[in-house]
Structure 1
Amino acid sequence: MMIPTIDIATRVYNHKWKIDPIVRSLIDTDFYKLLMCQSVLRNRPDVTVTFSLINRTKSIRLADLIDEGELREQLDHVRDLSLSRGESTWLRGNTFYGKRQMFRPDFMEFLEGLRLPPYHLERRDGQYELTFEGRWPEVMLWEIPALAVIMELRSRAVLKDLGRFELQVLYARAMTRIWEKIEALRPLGPDLKIADFGTRRRHSFLWQDWCVQALIEGLGERFTGTSNCLIAMRRDIEAIGTNAHELPMVYAALADSDEALRQAPYKVLADWHEEHEGNLRIILPDTYGTPGFLSGAPDWLAGWTGIRVDSGDPVAMTEYAIDWWTSRGEDPTQKRVIFSDGLDVAQIAALFRRFHGRVKVSFGWGTLLTNDFRGLVPGDGLAPFSLVCKAVAANGRPTVKLSDNPTKATGPANLIAHYKRVFGVGDQQQSTVIV
């Protein structure tokens, strides 16, 4: 079904229309959240988890920008959402990654009956403290809509005083920027594989949808799909995603010994392998440091399809992975490497040219696809910033993420130090987190 292009500027000018709630559907979320939720429902359904909003860019005082009443209205709207019959039919009957019935009947029954649990919201020192606590399979689905709501309310706050023509010009300039990026990617050739990973920190739903349409037309088969389930369904394209740091963070927090802690990231992937019967075999190795993860990995993981590089020096981490595959008797040219850390055109081009032919190269293009309005309003008030919503506790125990970039580390300082000892993480190169 062909859906007409929306006049975004007019919709933004009239953004109080009820036709434009920020989150339109329970499947206005990333595909990996549903895949992980199914695994959690099967393997750890009774774990209690706390998620918390974390604004890494402290200079942006969200509570000074975003009206608390409007924020609560949007969050309450999300809690009223439920799966529609058409959405359920799509999830039950569609083919994902070549597999029919990716989602089990028991998971679909859970999802069809789900309403997201309550939230807790407070203002503190110019920021919002937004937390969600409850059964892991339920609260984990708050992450993406919570981020989308905050990001779009920030966009609306910045744009609220602009006139209709100012908005038309703003979006015309932003559209031109995206199209110029697409034109810059075309010379990389037909082997380029790029997907939209921009749901979590998008400018708005309508803008993400426009960016996806631009990629469909501008890149053709080089565009492999979107992480956003609702856009994938509406635009009849592939839904893209596997798993994220949340799984090893929670499994690790539940470990009762240092040895169990060391094995937690591999236990996650053993459960994942069993859940998906050999499909979706992409390793995310950086939660507690890529070098240590790969050096200690069981042999069966070397046979998986590939890895996702999401922090640290992407060149160094990919070279490390190539050496690891070679040492395990695997052919790196048959392995896929998905880059997904703060990408924009120049880095995509440089990584593609370096590794094309040595591995199968793919890109998950996120914030700088769906939220690049840098320099387009006075004061640069629409510049992207680093906002995350992380699992911070499991069964009352704090979670920890180390990452290959220590700037991204989360958790209590004493536990970060303990995890570094357990996982043998030495000196790391610190780099600025843009998004």
Structure 2
Amino acid sequence: MNVNLAERAHNHNWKLDPIVRSLLDTDFYKLLMLQFIWKNFPQVHVTSETTNRTLAVRLADHVPVAALREQMEHVRRLRFRKSELIWLAGNTFYGTRSIFEPTFLEWLEHDFRLSDYEISLHDGQIVLRFSGLWTEVTMWEIYGLALLSEMKTRAALGRLSELELDVLYARAKSRLWDKIEKIRKAPEVRISEFGTRRRHSFLWQEYVVMAMRAGIGESLSGTSNTYLAYKHDLEAMGTNAHELPMALAALANSDEELLQSQYRVLELWQKSYGGELLILLPDTFGTTQFLENAPDWVADWTGQRADSKDPFVAGDEYIAWLMSRGRDARRKRLIASDGLDVDVILSLHDYFKGRIRFSAGWGTLLTNDFRGCHPRGERDLEPISLVCKVVSVEGRPAVKLSDNVNKATGPADEVDRYRRVFGTRESVGTEVLV
């Protein structure tokens, strides 16, 4: 990709370079989940909010609210293009053609809209809040996070001269090349680019994906960014996220319904999707209790994504559980996706080789690793931990326990209740970098 990143950053014109260029500029799993919600919960109302877990970085000091609102209004005016809908209708995803139903695509074209939003300031942080029908709220997650992340980037870039920008991107490219060279030494490793939500910028993410494709070839399985997959003929990667079990849990009317809600969402999911899309995400309320209480049919799913537990521990636990259920782990898939960087990816690949089909979802530390690259030695271009979570469903609080207590969300009394119902012990929190 022949783009002068330094010159483009120096002369930013948001009408030329809007942060979100297309409604496809989102993680692929959001579209899969949107179709699931549209089919199963079209009238459910939810509220979601962004949180900056890196409290030392005061976003309100970096991101002008008026400019943020202008970018958000631009996103609300976007519509799916005819060519994008044709691609969604006719392309093969995970070996399956027509994964999106014609009536769903018609709804996307004519009736899809994004909900209203609120921008507020709390203790130096910017909080985005989205409320409305679940179908109108869910897609804001990635757009909102990408907006906050890139506006923080643009503020930092705006304080640099064009020469300093040249130095910055030269150093970042060198760091990326070092990672690519390491991956090239292990051609069997499989990596999906997962870095949309906390990327440095759209242009840098696109540059990284193109560099990875040129540098590591088939080791790059694809990208979670649907727009980049569409634009560059790549595999669109992604399955589902914590939002679904959190919402179904909030809708439960008893403790028993609450306990079973984590499997109810799987029953509904497999009515729409199969094969490589049957990937468990068991850590919403704690991985260990999920596996211990799971019905036997859950072991027939294709694999598991490890997102908040040490992936070495999570993988061993999953393999042992599969063996206890009489399944061959070598036929299953393990996807690690929590704060990965190249050395950990290669170590995981070696550790699980021959035991399970391992792959990595490489996110923020692929698309936003500018640590130590700043020409003045400053840290305002380093990544922060931005998230957007469902906080209520039909007026009921939503909770996530996680395998890492530092990632738990929800009112304290509800978190305690969920721990009691699920039997999830409070875990020792590990530092959340991204």
The TM-score with structure 2 as length reference comes to 0.98
The correspondence of residues 26-425 of structure 1 with structure 2, limited to 5 A, is: 26-113=23-110, 114-188=112-186, 190-278=187-275, 280-377=277-374, 378-425=377-424
Structure 1 Cα separation of the partners of residues 140 and 94 of structure 2: 25
The correspondence of residues 1-40 of structure 1 with structure 2, limited to 5 A, is: 4-40=1-37
Question: Does the aligned pair in 2 maintain the 1:286–1:403 contact within 8 Å?
Answer: yes
Residue 316 of structure 1 and its aligned partner are, at CA, apart by 1.3
Question: Does the aligned pair in 1 maintain the 2:46–2:137 contact within 8 Å?
Answer: yes
Question: Does the aligned pair in 1 maintain the 2:330–2:356 contact within 8 Å?
Answer: yes
Structure 1 Cα separation of the partners of residues 432 and 157 of structure 2: 25
Residue 191 of structure 1 and its aligned partner are, at CA, apart by 2.0
Residue 267 of structure 1 and its aligned partner are, at CA, apart by 0.6
Residue 324 of structure 1 and its aligned partner are, at CA, apart by 0.5
Shift in alpha-carbon separation, 1:239–1:404, aligned structure 2, 3 A: same
Instruction: Give the partner amino acid of 2:304.
Output: I
Structure 2 Cα separation of the partners of residues 279 and 202 of structure 1: 26
Instruction: Give the partner amino acid of 1:336.
Output: R
Residue 19 of structure 1 and its aligned partner are, at CA, apart by 1.0
SS of corresponding position for 2:137: helix
Structure 2 Cα separation of the partners of residues 115 and 400 of structure 1: 26
SS of corresponding position for 1:119: strand
- Listed one character per residue, the Cα deviations across residues 292-324 of structure 1 (whole Å, up to 9, x for unaligned) are 001111111101111000012211111110010
Structure 2 Cα separation of the partners of residues 297 and 211 of structure 1: 39
SS of corresponding position for 2:185: helix
SS of corresponding position for 2:277: coil
Structure 2 Cα separation of the partners of residues 325 and 115 of structure 1: 42
Instruction: Give the partner amino acid of 1:180.
Output: D
Q: Say which is worse superposed, 395-404 or 123-132, in terms of deviation.
A: 123-132
Unaligned runs of 5+ in 1: none
- Listed one character per residue, the Cα deviations across residues 315-355 of structure 1 (whole Å, up to 9, x for unaligned) are 11111100100011100111100000000011111111111
Residue 124 of structure 1 and its aligned partner are, at CA, apart by 2.4
Residue 279 of structure 1 and its aligned partner are, at CA, apart by 5.2
Question: Does the aligned pair in 2 maintain the 1:273–1:279 contact within 8 Å?
Answer: no
Instruction: Give the partner amino acid of 2:166.
Output: Q
- Listed one character per residue, the Cα deviations across residues 166-206 of structure 1 (whole Å, up to 9, x for unaligned) are 11111111011011011112222x32110100000000000
Residue 116 of structure 1 and its aligned partner are, at CA, apart by 1.4
Structure 2 Cα separation of the partners of residues 99 and 251 of structure 1: 27
Q: Does residue 433 of structure 1 match 2:432? A: yes
Structure 2 Cα separation of the partners of residues 361 and 253 of structure 1: 32
Unaligned runs of 5+ in 2: none
Moved over 6 A (4+): none
Residue 427 of structure 1 and its aligned partner are, at CA, apart by 4.3
Question: Does the aligned pair in 2 maintain the 1:81–1:115 contact within 8 Å?
Answer: no
Residue 52 of structure 1 and its aligned partner are, at CA, apart by 0.3
Residue 16 of structure 1 and its aligned partner are, at CA, apart by 2.1
Shift in alpha-carbon separation, 1:296–1:65, aligned structure 2, 3 A: same
**Count of residue pairs brought into register by the alignment:** 431
SS of corresponding position for 1:364: strand
SS of corresponding position for 1:379: coil
Shift in alpha-carbon separation, 1:75–1:362, aligned structure 2, 3 A: same
Report % sequence identity: 54
Q: CA RMSD in A?
A: 1.0
SS of corresponding position for 2:105: helix
Question: Does the aligned pair in 2 maintain the 1:194–1:222 contact within 8 Å?
Answer: yes
Residue 229 of structure 1 and its aligned partner are, at CA, apart by 0.4
Question: Does the aligned pair in 2 maintain the 1:400–1:415 contact within 8 Å?
Answer: yes
Structure 2 Cα separation of the partners of residues 371 and 355 of structure 1: 27
Q: Say which is worse superposed, 336-345 or 166-175, in terms of deviation.
A: 166-175
SS of corresponding position for 2:387: strand
Question: Does the aligned pair in 1 maintain the 2:405–2:426 contact within 8 Å?
Answer: no
- Listed one character per residue, the Cα deviations across residues 20-53 of structure 1 (whole Å, up to 9, x for unaligned) are 0000000100000000110111111111010101
Structure 1 Cα separation of the partners of residues 409 and 14 of structure 2: 38
Structure 1 Cα separation of the partners of residues 107 and 163 of structure 2: 46
Instruction: Give the partner amino acid of 2:257.
Output: A
Structure 1 Cα separation of the partners of residues 146 and 59 of structure 2: 14
Structure 1 Cα separation of the partners of residues 160 and 305 of structure 2: 40
Structure 2 Cα separation of the partners of residues 110 and 54 of structure 1: 30
Shift in alpha-carbon separation, 1:175–1:279, aligned structure 2, 3 A: closer
Instruction: Give the partner amino acid of 1:208.
Output: Q
